Amino acid sequence: MPATPRQKACIACADSKRKCDKQLPECRRCLDRDVDCVYPQRKRRHRVPVPRHSQPAEPAAILNFAHDDGPQSNVGFGHWGSLELTNVDPSLLDVVLPYVPTLPTPYSNLSAGRFRFEDGSNSDLPCPWFLEDETWVLRQCNQEVNCVTNVQLEPLIHAVEEMLQSWVKNGFNSFIHRRLYENGMPTCLQDAFTTLAAYTSRTSAVKEIMLQITEDRASALVASQNPPSPGSAQSIPAHLARVQSLFIYEFILLFDGSVRGRASAEKKLPVLRRWMDQMWQLMKRYRVKGISSSFRPLRWTATEFDTEYDAYSEMWKLWILVESVRRSHLIIDTIANVYQTMTKGSAECSGAAMFTARRGVWEAESAAQWFELCCSRSTLLVPSLQPEPLISQYAAEEIDDFAKLYWTFIVGSDKMQCRKDRRSKESRINITTS
């Protein structure tokens, strides 16, 4: 039977060379003196490090903010930063939380990154790869305000229409994650969902009725929906839900073919863009508070495995919200620009969002699967309007379906197929020569 480890004296008594009664959670001497009673942590058993697999170097031309030098185990937390806890009495941390979960950031390529608060001060909490300041810059494909791209307009509209139909049929799509609203869908998005479901199954006899319902609900949303409170990170999902709701109504009215519906939707396009900008700025402003408030103090009796699992589970939930904001911004802004290009000949480019392009990260079924994918290789958080370096150096099977779909319309289907054939030819030559 292993020996029971003896409780050591608290740090305050040891420093003062006084006798400590070793009582938990605080010794009598510290209670009498009204000082923090902190016991030294017991030494943990040495663990054999898991060997890392060699990883391919990142292409220098790609602005990738998710490097692949992380641990290879889905529960190994080798180089993690300190976790900031809110609403916790500091004097109780050493008693309630003898083991504090930390956040995985070894795969961030910005080693000096730290969370920045509204007052400009820095925190000791290392910034995860998907929250770095540089990843929130809306990038253009060139230096011109009116960016000229080779976007194939009509096919892109049909692709987004299929995404919306997939949401009605399956409950998720390429920019609305399957776990995004698992705790309850906001009422405004429930209305948009039922409207879209009825619209997709409409008959010619009720088409005008459905367009009227869509127009009325869009007008009601704009007129009566007060902006969610900007004072908390919890308002970000509410912002996202109302942006997605208005986009659904706008998409139906803009591209159905009804002149009346199109005129009504055009009046609301500036509102949609304003709401989207508010959502983006709010996400940038409160992403730090979203992190700290997501982690809840655990009971001191929790096991190390429970603590680690809760840590990367909460991280996964945060990434789902952040990536949904990124992809929604990208799709909505692109469709608005496509419509303006089709009707006016050009659209002002304010820049496009970055998104995660690695296959499997968006489709992960669990927090453990997501965490393992993030740690085993680069997640390819890249600019959406700079696909050339990525598609020229990564095989098609490594790229997310959403990325391939979006970039096909920017680069062109013929050029994408040409690059795919060239890579296949190069692979066959390498196999032959080896």
Domain boundaries, the chain: 1-44, 136-350
Element (H, E) at 42: none
In degrees to the nearest 10, what's the CA dihedral of 377, 382, 385, 388? Answer: -40
**Alpha-carbon distance values, 333 to 39, 248, 259, 276, 349 (Å):** 54, 13, 22, 8, 9
Tell me how far apart the alpha carbons of residues 360 and 363 are, in angstroms, rounded to a whole number: 5
Q: Domain spanning 1-44: which superfamily?
A: Zn(2)-C6 fungal-type DNA-binding domain (4.10.240.10)
Query: Mind spelling out the 3-state secondary structure of 356-399?
Result: ECECCCCCCCCHHHHHHHHHHCCCCEEECCCCHHHHHHCCHHHE
**Alpha-carbon distance values, 420 to 150, 385, 394 (Å):** 19, 19, 10
CA-closest candidate to residue 230, choices 195, 160, 186, 279: 279
- The DSSP bridge partners found for residue 139 are 352
Query: Mind spelling out the 3-state secondary structure of 49-113?
Result: CCCCCCCCCCCCCCCCCCCCCCCCCCCCCCCECCCCCCCCCHHHHHHHCCCCCCCECCCCCCCCC
Position 81 pLDDT exceeds 90: no
Note the pLDDT tens digit of each residue in 134-145: 888 888 765 444
Task: Confirm if 37 and 12 have CB atoms less than 8 A apart.
Answer: yes
Note the pLDDT tens digit of each residue in 272-281: 999 999 999 8
Dig out the tokens for 16 from the structure. 């003062």
Note the pLDDT tens digit of each residue in 230-247: 555 568 899 999 999 999
pTM of the model: 0.69
Q: What is the pLDDT of residue 365?
A: 93
Note the pLDDT tens digit of each residue in 391-407: 878 888 899 999 988 98
Q: What is the pLDDT of residue 389?
A: 80
Half-sphere exposure of 74 (CA within 13 A, CB side): 12
Task: Confirm if 234 and 322 have CB atoms less than 8 A apart.
Answer: no
